[in-house]
Structure formats: C-alpha cells, structure tokens
Structure 1
Amino acid sequence: MEGSFGGYTDKTRVLDIKPLRTLKPVFPSGNQAPPFVCAPPFGPFPPGCTPFYPFSSSQHTPDLNQSQHQPSLVTTLRTFRSPPPPDNTTSNGDAVEPPEGSTVKRKIQRKRTPIAQNPNFSSGISAAEKENGDRKLVMSVLTRFDALRRRLSQLEDAKESVTGIIKRPDLKAGSTCMSRGVRTNTKKRTGPVPGLEIGDVFFFRFEMCLIGLHSPSMAGIDYLVVKGGGGEAEEEPIATSIVSSGYYDNDEGNPDVLVYTGQGGNADKDKQSSDQKLERGNLALEKSLQKNSPVRVIRGLKEASQSAKIYIYDGLYDVKESWVEKGKSGHNTFKYKLVRAPGQAPAFASWTEIQKWKKGLPSREGMILTDLTSGVESIGVSLVNVVDAENGPAYFTYSTTVTSFKLTQQPSYGCECGGACKPGNLNCHCIRKNGGDFPYSGNGVLVSRRGMVHECSPACLCPGCKNKVTQMGVKLKLEVFKTVNRGWGLRSWDPIRAGSFICIYAGEAIDKSQMQPAMANDDYTFDTTRVYTPFKWNYEPGLADEDGSEEMSEEPELPLPLVISAKNVGNVARFMNHSCSPNVFWQPVSYENNGQLFLQVAFFAISHIPPMTELTYDYGVTRTSGAQSLCGKKKCFCGSEFCRGSFG
C-alpha cells in the first residue's frame, strides 16, 4: 500500500479521494427489487415496510393498494418526546396483564380520583361569591387551602407516597383549589379587596392568589389592563399590587416608605443581565404614578423563628416617584418610590417595632416583667400593661403540667424504632395508635383535628422524635397584656402558622363529681364537658380526591371527663380570653410514661395569626338547663360580628 513501509503507515499524507456526492447513485434494476417508494411518516406503508418510532404506535398498517379504495383509519399517535409504551401496556396507555410466569416490576401508588372523574365535588361558592367575597368567605378559602396543603404534606411524609412525591404541597393544593373553584375575589381591581384586612399574614404565595390579593404566583407586580386616554381602542396597564421580596431601601428607616425595584432584566435568552424595559409591570407602576392610583403592598419578610418567608399585607401605597439607575450588573433598572397612604392600621411598622423589642432597643412600653414564668419556660413570657396602673394579675404558681391526673394502664415502654417513627409503619406502637398516620407534618404543624392525638412516650428510643410536639413546651415569644374590658389577655410577638402548637392548659385536675358551684364559675377553669360550637377545620376528602367515607371525626374522644383549674397553679393558657370567633382551638393529646397514660389539653392555631393579635378560644357552654344555666352565663365582650352575647 502506498505510504506504508514495513507495516508503518504515514498518516500525514493526504489521499486523493473524491467525496461521495460526486458519485453516481446506483439503483437496482426492475427485476431485482421493487421501485424506490417514499412513504409519508404516518403511513400508509408499502408491503414489506414497517413503521418506525415514533410512528410505530399505529394500530393498523393498511395495504398500499387497499388504502386507495378504503377510508383512512384513525390511529393513536404520540409526540416525538413520548417514550414507547412499556411491555405491559397498549399503545394508548391501557394496562394489560403480563404473560403467566413473567415478572413485572410495578410502582404502587395511592389511588386518587382525577379531577375530571370527580363530578360530585362542589366548592359551595356561588359565581357571585367567587367574583366578590367577604371576610367570612376569605377565611373559609384560606382554611380549606391550608387543610388540603397539610394533608398533601402528610402524604408526602408517608411511606406509601414515595412513588409519587409531592415536592411542593402548597403548589399542588393551590392549583387544586383554583381548578375546583375554591377561591374568591376573582374580579381584579385596584384599591382594597373585599374581606381582606391590613396586617393579614400569609405563609404561601398561592394563598394571596386564591383570595384575589395578588394574582401572579411568581411575578412581583400585578396589574390590570384598562382603557387609555388616547382613543377607544387604546389600552394600558395599571398596577394593582406588588410583593416585595424583602427589605428594600427606604427613606431614613421610615417603614411607611418603600423603594421598589422594577421587574425584568435579570436574564435574557443568553442568561445575561440586560437593561429593564418599560413594559408590563414596570409600565403599570408608571401609569399608576401618572393617574395617582393606589397600589396594594405585600411585604415579604424572613423571620428567624420561621423556616420560610412570611408575607404581610401592609395596605395601600401611592407611587410618588420613578427613576432609572445603574444596578449592580451595570445595567439600567427602574426604581419606584411608594409612600403609605395615611389613616391606615399599622402593619409592617408594628413588625419592625417588634424586631427592636427583641433586640432590647428600645424596651417594650409598659413592661412590668420580662418573664413572668421565672425561667420555667424556655422562652420568657412578658407581662405588659399600657392601659392602667395595675401591676399584674393575682399570685399563682407557674407550672407546665397537669397535676394529679394520671390513668393507670398496662406497663408500656414506648416504641423501639431505631430511627424516627415512620408513617404507615404499623409495627410502631405510636403510629399504630394514630391509625397509621403521623399526626404532625415535618415542621410540627398539626395535620387534622381528631378525637385524640397520641404522642410518643418519653421512653421511645427514636432520636429526634417529631411526635412529641406538646411535650417540648412553648416555642413562641408570648406576652400577657392588660386589655381594656376583658382583664388580662395573651398574644404573641411572633406570627403563628395555622395548626401550630401554642401551649397546653396546665393546672390541677379536678373530679367533675366533686366540683363546687363556685368552682364551675371560676374564670380559670377549663371543662371538657362543656358544649362547644362545632366548626370545620380538617381537609375535605373530595377536594383531596379521597373517599369521603374515610373522613376523620373532629369531635374529642376523652376516656373520662377532664376538668382543670388554673386558679392557683397554671401557665399562660389561663390568660386566654373567650371569643365567639376564636383563632385558637383545643385538642386532647395523650402520651404514655412509666406505665401510665398522661392526658392534656393542647391549643393550636385555627388560622394564620399576625403578631400582637390576641389569642382566644371558645369557652363553651355548661351542660345545664333552666335557671341554673342563666345564672352560670357571663356577658361576652369579644366584639365579634358573630358574638353570641354570653358564654359559660
């Protein structure tokens, strides 16, 4: 071979070879093979030719000659991105049984009904209510959303949900509520939104979408397209609301001034920074400046005591100025100065004040004691009075337990889980007592009200157990304060998420049969035998695509009547006042220790509770009749729209 010497080939030499395109094509003669035919991708295909992927899903390949005389057949086709069906399915995705003796690996998934196959579900919200809501409807929508989110979070944590992990239960719950019509205030508007109050807090962006406060689930600027002034056909955007991502530049630390950065310009198609453009949300804010149209402002904050960002509705702001300046990347960005409209209730300003209290500068006004528990609670409870000169409530002994109340039972040593208790593990004693479910989500939020929540025993071997929520004590910065007309009350410096544990009702357990009449009217007595106004808090099985027959009862199931007096011995729960529209509910919780069953009453948040909002629960009505019931009732000063007028 040329260029080869003794087995060595010189690869540096360029061979004189003509490209293939200069060669003449060679076709077979007529008697050797059928003529060359180019079949369309969807068929029909000539005899001897088979369709290739991704067109191989046709149910029938007609003969070339027959197709000229018969109508075309409807075939099931897949897109180029669709993979071929598995061996145990047909081309349209229907499952078929594998041949006898074969082994097929299957993923086990929880049976859930698709949205289109659940025609019996009704949101219960009329078309008019969806367009314009009120306070009651707004709170109902938020409660239903969070109940579904907690359930989806529970399924995510459960062992059987491994094959269908829901990474963001809030997004799944939000999209489900949106598609099922569990929403309100769909009519987009500027200014206030019906049913919303300044200071309302949200833990998820989708909550604001469902109640019409801020429609986009991602974008920071929401706007409305209206008729412009240049002609009948001309339209222009006007801003309705903005969500700040954190602490923006403000005027000398004034919480009522916000300097907001426009949207866009962070990344174009080439993932490079670019100048922001005066379009969409940026143009809408500019038009709001020109038209003096107010904009709703939602502040996004990061609390040290919370694992996620919190959003607070701070009311209406006016756009006062706009300008362009160079950003950190050197590109032009739009800046808008917004000033809070006067005469509104404080919201973000109160939040910033609380942060100063936590740092000790300045000190809390009206502070009597920085910690009335004297170190019993891991987080101090403040005692404050800015109403009158009273120096504090009557003396009592602070305790975090229910004394003199134990139910003897068979010896129990707790579960023996090497790691954490796993949902669905019926070999775990603690999980089995809760019906196979884990009562709390991963962040300690109660999933559902139930007859009894069974927590793990202190003797359980699992490290870092998440099923001892009420046994870990108060985790909020609470404050006992003097009210105007209801004595002492309780509130929190921290925002409280719906389902979060607040405290237990500590005190002395009393035998119901030995209660004296004076004790029954005691302001510091909690009686589980009273009649409490029922309310719906758990998720709806129909909304979660589950069988409605498995709906969990929310009525408490106590082994015997439990009455607790906190007059002489108690904790912060003794200061919670009654309300006919409470934001806190009680839940019986039990746990085992040293062969005994301990029973206690725990309080959880019904809804998201903003900071400095009084914590209240329903005291219920004593099970008496006639004149005795009238003597035992007390006048109610809760001020609720749905106040019953009395309680006790």
Structure 2
Amino acid sequence: MERDICPDSVPFSSSLDKSKVLNVKPLRSLVPVFPSPHGFTTFSPPQVPPFVCTQPSGPFPPGFSPFNPFFVPPDSQQHPQTPTNQPGGFGFNHPTQTPSVPLPSFRTPPPPAARAQFAGAGNGDEGSSKKSSRNREAGINKGESVRSVTEEDACNDNRIWAAPYVSSFNMHITDAETTSNGEKQKSKSHKRVKCNQDTKLSLSAVGDIFMTFDARQRADGDRESVTHILTTFDALRRRLNQIEDAKEANPGVIRRSDLKAGAILMNKGIRTNMKRRIGFVPGVEVGDIFFFRFEMCLVGLHAPSMAGIDYMSIKFEQEEEPVALSIVSSGAYEDNVGDGDVLIYSGQGGNINRKDKQVVDQKLERGNLALERSLRRATEVRVIRGMNVGHSNSAVKVYVYDGLYQIQESWIEQGKSGFNVFKYKLVRVPGQPDAFKIWKSVQQWKEGSTTRVGVILPDLTSGAETVPVSLVNDIDDERGPAYFTYFPTLKYLKPVKSIISSFGCNCRGPCLPGDANCSCVSRNGGNLPYIGTGIIVSQKSLVHECGPSCSCSANCRNRVSQTGLKVHLEVFKTKDKGWGLRSWDPIRAGAFICEYAGEVVDKIKGDEDRDQDEDDEYIFDAARTYDSSFQWNYVSELLDEMPGDTNETDKTSLPLTISAKNVGNVARFMNHSCAPNVFWQPVLRANNNESDLHIAFYAIKHIPPMTELTYDYGIIQSETHSNNARHRRKICLCGSSKCRGGFG
C-alpha cells in the first residue's frame, strides 16, 4: 500500500541500507534512542519539554535534533551486507521490511544515566496492555482499573497493584457492571500504593513481630525469607477462601483467592529475590513445589504470572540482548515433550484464544528470541515443570522446580496443528538433586510399568485404609518393624465424659459455611474450619468437627479427619532413625494427612507403669510443650481483622495421651524434627457429650513426593518427669539448622 509523502519531508537515498534501523525486539520493549546527525551536538536542558513538534526542515529549538530514522551522513554510508548465520541461529531468512515514512517530530536524546547495563523492561513490560478482550479472558471487571493479565504479565519491581483489585476479591467475567437502568458505570479513580525500596516492612501476629523485610532481603532472599513468604501467602489465601465460601455464590463470578492474596503481598512489598538473575535463586531449592504461579512470582523464581518464558535484556560488551531466565513447561502447548534430564520445549505464541492448539505460525520475538540468544550465549535457564495431579475430574496443577538447564539446539518444525513451532532442546546441568525424575519414578510405580525396589509389603494396612500403605526397605536386610495391630483410629478403653459440650448439629445435607443456625459452625467461631478442598484454614486451640450425633450428611466438609487417608503413604527404613513415613504424592499446605491412632491411656499411673512408658517409643503426649515461635496462621492485620481464636495455638488445655505400641496406624512411624513439615491439631467430634477427642496431622507447607514427614515431639515439662531420674531425653537426629539437640 502506497502512502503520500509530505512535501516537507526529508528525502532519503534509495541506496541506503534501511535494515540498519530495524530491531528484532518488540517495539514496546525498547527505550527509544534517537541519534543525532553526523557532527551535530545535542543538549537537553532540564526545563525544555521532552517532546517538541516542528517542521522537518526546521528551524529546530536549541538542544533538539531532527528525528529521521533513515538519515545517514554521506561519508558513512555503506553497502548492504548479506547477513550470515550466527552460531545457534535458526538459519532462515527474515522477510524484507517495508520502509516507513520519516516522522515529522523531534525528541531530546535520553540522558546517559538511562542506559543501564540491565534493561528494566523484562518480558516486554515497558508498558501494559489494556485491551478489554484480555480483561474479559482474565475475568477482570473493566471498571476495576486493574492492569490486564497479558502473556508477558510479570511481578516487576515497578509494578503497582490497583487498590480495587486488593479490596475487591470477586473477578467478574462481565466486561462492565451495569446500573439498574442498564447504563454502564464509570470506573472510579483509586489511589495506588507503591512500596519504597528502602522501607522496612514488618508483619505482626498477635502483637509479636512476625518477620521484618528490608531492601536487602527483598533484593536477595534466603531459605528463611522464602519459606516465610510462601507460608504468609498460603495462609492469607486460605483465609480469603474461607471468607468467600461464607458468601452467597454469584453467577459469573470467579473466586481467585490466590490472585487476591498475591496482590496484597505485592502492595505490602512482602516478596523477595526482586533482583533479576540468571541461575539459581537464593532460598529456592531444587525440588520445591508450588500450587500457584503467584508463589513463584513472590519468591523470584519465575516472574510472569501467565507466560511460560521469563526473560530480560542484558548488555554483553557493547550489545544488549534478551536472554531467558526461566521457563515453565506445563503442557500448554501441544508439542512439549520431556523425560528425565532432557526437555524438548515448544516456543510461545501461535495459540491465540486457544489454550492447547496452534492456530498461526510462531514468530521469533519476545521469549522465543530470548531462548535463541540464550543458546548462542550458553546461559543457564531455570526449568519449572508443571504436572496434573489427581483424577481427571479433580486434577490440580503442581509445579516442581527442576533446576538449571542449558539449551543445546533449536529448530523450526511443523506442529500437530500444521503451523510452524519453534523447538528447543534443553539438557539438565549435572550434579543437581533429583526432582522431576522422582515424579516420573512414582508415576511408573503407580502404573506398574516399573517395580518399586525394596518393597516388603504392598499394603501393610491389609485393606484397613482406602489407600494402600507400602512397607519398603532399600537400606538393609531388616524385614519390617516390630509386630503391631493396624487400627485406623483411636480406641478409648473406657468411656470418658467430655469437658466441652459436643452435641451435634441439625443440618440437612452438608453443613454450609456461614450458616448461623448450624451449631458446629457456631462452635468454630462462625466459620467452618475447612475450605472446599478440605484444607484447614488455621491452627486453633480446638477444631470442632461434626460427629456421630450430627444429622448432616457423610460428605459434609466438616468431617475431614474422619475420611481416612487421601495420599499414598510409604513406611520406609531410614539410614539412622529407624522407620519413617513419606508420601508418593505431593501434599498441599494445610492438607489432612492422618490422625494419631492407638489406645488412649490414663495419665494417673504408678511408678511401674511410668517405667513402661519410658520404654514405649510410640507415646503421643499432648501435654508436652512446643516451640512457641511457630507461626502458621494468616496475619490478621493484612485483612484489617482483629486477632482472635484463629491465632490460638495453646493445646495444653485438653491433655491426651495415646499409646501406639501395640495398636496404631501410620502416624506411629512419623519421626521427630525441630524443623518439621507437619503439625498436629486437636479435633473434637460431636458425640453426645462423650469425649471424642482426636489428634489430626496437617501439612505445614507444600511437601514434595518422597519427602519424609516429621512433626515436633515437644519436651516433657511435667513435675513428675522433672523429678524422675529415670527419664531420659532422647538425642535428636533431625539435622536441621534449628535443632534443639534433643526431645522428650
């Protein structure tokens, strides 16, 4: 298509190599730099406006130079050169670009300070797209003034989350809210808050300092800060989910508590590893798992909240190029293939409005270009693999950090849909702990394609549990633990009257969140203790579950600890701690694992019975003292709530002693750790005023497959044991940095 040229436009030579002004980077990722003509000196006084319009032929204001993208001094013109294939390039010719008409405008050159070694526009985020179609795809109300979630959307250092996104939890699918007369409401302006990089931020929980973040910790994290941020995020997400569950469901509303929790923490500056980097991320370990993309954003592992390729521009010598930092392989593209230490990764793009199918050819831009440059520069790329876990109707996506990879080769091939796809072969850097390999091994064990080495019994419960529990020893020749009778719950040797009222509810069907007429909801402070996925919201002094005296249905969500095992557990022989317990499946933070089963024993005993207790390694004593610094619940101040029972953790008011020496379940094999990944919670089931108190175990954090499950045994502080010379404190072998040296 031809275009008329203004008669005042500056002419350009037909022999000029116009490709010199082109750049393969997307325009929105570039900070414009306008060259001055040969021999022309520019000057930019502070008081002069940054943009001035004038005629192309002049006159020009002082300090301004004409912007003519095709102007080259006659003595510096060169003949076009045939481009050569760079090492690691794709080896295809780029189409010829049509020259643009010179723009009749002039701009001052940027100051030298603006040219930093690391370009801040990672992932093309020099500006944000506001297309309403993408807002609709993300389910965000147009009137909320929220930055749209695009393919390059990332947790950038300069990102400001809009106030309505923080205050309004519901994400409306409709493009705009309408008033009663059908007219669209105008979006209101909201204040935005941006955190100062030098400001120290602290979280308070029940009046105590939870943790303080300064500028250094936000730039470079460690294991403690990463763990704290992930714990804070998930606790806040659970509470937001609980609040929304109690509200009446609205058609067309998507409840995304993860996005709301992430926005709150971003606005508060509660994040770490904000400094973008190639290679390992401080505090994030190979094998860590994530159930939400926002978790990876907050700890600096992978910045984009949607895109699969995270990249940034880096200056190599005198040339600035985009390089890839991390990729997420989650099956969003039809041609992704990965097994073991090799990953064949498909480039991004080409699947417009389609999640799993190509509809156009992919282009060498953005993340695809960054991967190609990483191949040429031989830089390492972090790889996160996403996998669907669970049954097809209830599967969830879990992301595992598989460590560093290097790109070995790249090419273009025709995908299954008939369109061109960029392909990259990545090979894992040797010497790293296994992560994805473990997932693949477990999958093969479940499918029966390979046999688990060292299996003694495929199910030591003999069918007492709905999920089998394997007994495995791949360490030595021991054939199993001492004999005991497997029993999945508690045995009260004699009836015990409850000291707390436990009459049941009169609900028809399952108990509903926020139901003021449900006695079980009222006893839990007006909220059910679990969200819809069966995750416990907060650690409390006592959780009231529905029980035998309740008229609600068996599928009531307030019966979580009564439904048996939900993950495939394995009792295995450890190297130095006897038998231990771990899971074949990933476990989400707050998920129920099992209860401590056994025989309830009387605390009032003679000396002979106490001597027997000293030899009983399977005693659970709820009266022991525990680490008071353990904080797992949400920080109520983040939601402007007053601290209440949601932060109570005192369990000593309901003493309970259980012996699993002769009768018990898998919990008897759980070892002690001073830095555990499991906590225990007293649960009282409604049973007509008879004592039906149980001890349930829940995950403190996301637990990867084949990770040993441990909890804190505590320390006996009773006067009887302190005066008993025969009581021996056991040596702790947990090996954590917080080890107290002993327990019991």
CA distance in 1, matches of 2:201, 2:341: 44
Deviation at 1:83, TM superposition (A): 7.3
Candidates 374, 377, 390, aligned match of 1:291: 377
1:474 — aligned with what? 565
SS at match of 2:328: strand
Greater shift in the superposed pair: 603-612 or 121-130? 121-130
SS at match of 1:582: coil
SS at match of 1:317: strand
CA distance in 2, matches of 1:356, 1:362: 6
The within-5 A match list for 1:475-490 is 475-490=566-581
Deviation at 1:413, TM superposition (A): 6.3
1:505 aligns with 2:596: yes
Greater shift in the superposed pair: 354-363 or 418-427? 418-427
1:460 — aligned with what? 550
Contact 1:558-1:588 at 8 Å conserved across structures? no
SS at match of 1:137: helix
CA distance in 2, matches of 1:93, 1:561: 55
Q: Which amino acid aligns with 2:386?
A: G
The within-5 A match list for 1:64-83 is none
The within-5 A match list for 1:519-598 is 519-520=613-614, 522-534=616-628, 535-543=630-638, 545-550=639-644, 552-557=646-651, 560-593=654-687, 595-598=689-692
SS at match of 1:241: strand
Change beyond 3 A, Cα 1:275–1:444: same
C-alpha RMSD of matched pairs (Å): 3.2
Greater shift in the superposed pair: 583-592 or 152-161? 152-161
SS at match of 2:637: coil
1:334 aligns with 2:455: no
Deviation at 1:292, TM superposition (A): 0.8
Identical positions, percent: 55
Change beyond 3 A, Cα 1:536–1:207: same
CA distance in 2, matches of 1:136, 1:482: 29
Change beyond 3 A, Cα 1:538–1:549: closer
Change beyond 3 A, Cα 1:159–1:403: same
Candidates 199, 202, 225, aligned match of 1:122: 202
Deviation digits for residues 111-133 of structure 1, max 9, x if unmatched? xx99799x997352111000001
Q: Which amino acid aligns with 2:442?
A: I
1:393 aligns with 2:481: yes
2:405 — aligned with what? 317
Contact 1:250-1:257 at 8 Å conserved across structures? no
Deviation digits for residues 205-224 of structure 1, max 9, x if unmatched? 00000000000000000012
1:18 — aligned with what? none
Greater shift in the superposed pair: 422-431 or 204-213? 422-431
SS at match of 1:542: helix
Structure 1: gaps (5+ residues):
1-80, 95-112
1:447 — aligned with what? 537
Greater shift in the superposed pair: 614-623 or 557-566? 557-566
The within-5 A match list for 1:318-397 is 318-397=406-485
CA distance in 2, matches of 1:336, 1:210: 27
Deviation digits for residues 561-587 of structure 1, max 9, x if unmatched? 211111111110000000010000000
Deviation digits for residues 268-316 of structure 1, max 9, x if unmatched? 99x9932211111101100110111110000000012563100000011
2:496 — aligned with what? 407
CA distance in 2, matches of 1:526, 1:173: 36
CA distance in 1, matches of 2:416, 2:396: 26
Greater shift in the superposed pair: 242-251 or 588-597? 242-251
1:275 — aligned with what? 361
CA distance in 2, matches of 1:587, 1:455: 12
Q: Which amino acid aligns with 1:490?
A: L
Q: Which amino acid aligns with 2:497?
A: T
Candidates 478, 487, 492, aligned match of 2:583: 492
Contact 1:85-1:91 at 8 Å conserved across structures? no
Larger Rg: 1
Candidates 516, 526, 529, aligned match of 1:436: 526
Give the aligned length: 542
Deviation at 1:474, TM superposition (A): 1.0
CA distance in 2, matches of 1:561, 1:407: 13
Q: Which amino acid aligns with 1:450?
A: K
Deviation at 1:492, TM superposition (A): 0.2
Change beyond 3 A, Cα 1:512–1:595: closer
CA distance in 2, matches of 1:246, 1:265: 15
2:734 — aligned with what? 638
Contact 1:507-1:569 at 8 Å conserved across structures? yes
Deviation at 1:249, TM superposition (A): 6.1
2:238 — aligned with what? 150
1:238 — aligned with what? 323
Deviation at 1:518, TM superposition (A): 3.6
SS at match of 2:636: coil
Deviation at 1:162, TM superposition (A): 6.3
Q: TM-score, normalised by structure 1?
A: 0.78
CA distance in 2, matches of 1:583, 1:227: 42
CA distance in 2, matches of 1:418, 1:470: 20
Deviation digits for residues 87-132 of structure 1, max 9, x if unmatched? xxx99989xxxxxxxxxxxxxxxxxx99799x99735211100000
Q: Which amino acid aligns with 1:643?
A: C
1:7 — aligned with what? none
The within-5 A match list for 1:127-142 is 127-142=215-230
SS at match of 1:437: coil
CA distance in 1, matches of 2:550, 2:367: 55
Deviation at 1:521, TM superposition (A): 5.3
CA distance in 2, matches of 1:411, 1:329: 64
Change beyond 3 A, Cα 1:340–1:371: same
1:35 — aligned with what? none
Candidates 681, 697, 711, aligned match of 1:603: 697
Deviation digits for residues 463-500 of structure 1, max 9, x if unmatched? 32111010111111000000000000000000000000
SS at match of 2:262: helix
Contact 1:541-1:551 at 8 Å conserved across structures? no
Contact 1:152-1:166 at 8 Å conserved across structures? no
Q: Which amino acid aligns with 1:138?
A: V
CA distance in 1, matches of 2:652, 2:285: 38
Contact 2:588-2:701 at 8 Å conserved across structures? yes
Q: Which amino acid aligns with 2:365?
A: E
Q: Which amino acid aligns with 1:387?
A: I
Q: Which amino acid aligns with 1:242?
A: I
Contact 2:622-2:651 at 8 Å conserved across structures? no
Deviation digits for residues 14-59 of structure 1, max 9, x if unmatched? xxxxxxxxxxxxxxxxxxxxxxxxxxxxxxxxxxxxxxxxxxxxxx
Deviation at 1:554, TM superposition (A): 2.8
Q: TM-score, normalised by structure 2?
A: 0.68
